[in-house]
Structure 1
Amino acid sequence: MPHAQSTKRQDRHEPHRLETDRFAPATRKRLSAPALRTFLAIADLWGLNEEQRLLVLGYPSRSTYHNWAKQAREHGAFTLDVDTLIRISAVLGIHQALGILFPDERLGVAWLRTPHEALVFGGHPPLDVLTSGTQDGLMTVRRFLDAARGGIYMHPNILDETFTPYEDGDIVFR
């Protein structure tokens, strides 16, 4: 029996070990260049200016940002901090959600730039919240889009506007 207890105790602590491995310097170094390259491509697609890019990344100095960008483009090695990688991860999630919710990238970008009446946006464009400089702003937009993907109400998009409701005869039981 003592062996079963020690196994149970190890299992209980296992997630904590995995959690720390995720933030280990070697892991962050491996992810940093590809993550930043992807961020730069999305920032280009969204039309973010340099100030907005800095805000999204947590406001590193301009020289640090340009050094990261140069290293990333040249496939160099550098290590981003955990906060910056979490921010980039949020951007990737937002980009993915926009790709699922909108049939065209331009429509997703337009949604980011259009004032929105949802309480979390308060009549401002989601891009304003996203580029507020806080990790919370990024996560707010990501959570909103994840909820929309999950079926929680979001203002209808072009696909919804052309949707024809199902009739009883359209439903087939077998």
Structure 2
Amino acid sequence: MAEIWRLTSGEICALLGDVSERTWFRMKKGEWTGSLSQDSLTRVSALIGLFKGLRLLFSEPLADEWVKLANKGPLFEGRRPIDVMIEGGIPKLLLVRRHIDALRGGL
């Protein structure tokens, strides 16, 4: 998802919560043998659900770009969903995921 959404290492680390950039690079290389915290697992679960929901709701170009596009909806107030999720942590990650699920009729 990080590659598809074209996230920077700083953005992905912020989304994952307690993952440093050094750890992220080791994860990408397959050299990390640690385990994610419950906090990070919750974040990953929300992001995977969001990714899947976007793919079900929109065609691929829009689904892949949506998190980086400014959104005028009340949840985002002209901001990019990625920024809202980074700043809002788990509560906003889950809220954005529920927003997409609701748009596609999943709630």
Give the TM-score taking structure 2 as reference length: 0.85
Name 2:52's counterpart in structure 1: 96
Greater relative contact order (Cα < 8 A, sep 6+): 2
Q: Secondary structure of 2:4's match? A: helix
Question: Unpaired segments of 5 or more residues in structure 2?
Answer: none
Deviation per CA, 1:31-88, whole angstroms, max 9, x where unpaired?
xxxxxxxxxxx00000000110110010422223333333xx35x6431111111111
Is residue 2:19 matched to residue 1:63?
A: no
Question: Unpaired segments of 5 or more residues in structure 1?
Answer: 1-41, 153-174
Name 1:130's counterpart in structure 2: 85
The structural deviation recorded for 1:108 is 1.1
Is residue 2:79 matched to residue 1:79?
A: no
One-letter amino acid of the structure 2 residue matched with residue 85 of structure 1: L
Identical aligned pairs, as a percentage?
34
Question: Which of these residues, 107, 116, 119, is aligned with residue 74 of structure 2?
Answer: 119
The structural deviation recorded for 1:136 is 1.7
Query: In the superposition, relative to structure 1, how do residues 94 and 151 fare at CA in structure 2: closer, same or farther (>3 Å)?
Result: closer
Greater Cα radius of gyration, structure 1 or 2: 1
**Superposition RMSD in Å:** 2.1
The structural deviation recorded for 1:118 is 1.5
Is residue 2:103 matched to residue 1:148?
A: yes
Residue-pair matches, total: 107
One-letter amino acid of the structure 2 residue matched with residue 126 of structure 1: P
Q: 8 Å contact 2:84–2:92 — kept in the other structure?
A: yes
Q: 8 Å contact 2:17–2:40 — kept in the other structure?
A: yes
With 49-58 and 119-128 compared, the bigger mean Cα shift is at 119-128
Q: 8 Å contact 1:102–1:108 — kept in the other structure?
A: yes
**Matches of 2:3 and 2:85 in 1, distance apart?**
15
Give the TM-score taking structure 1 as reference length: 0.55
One-letter amino acid of the structure 2 residue matched with residue 92 of structure 1: I
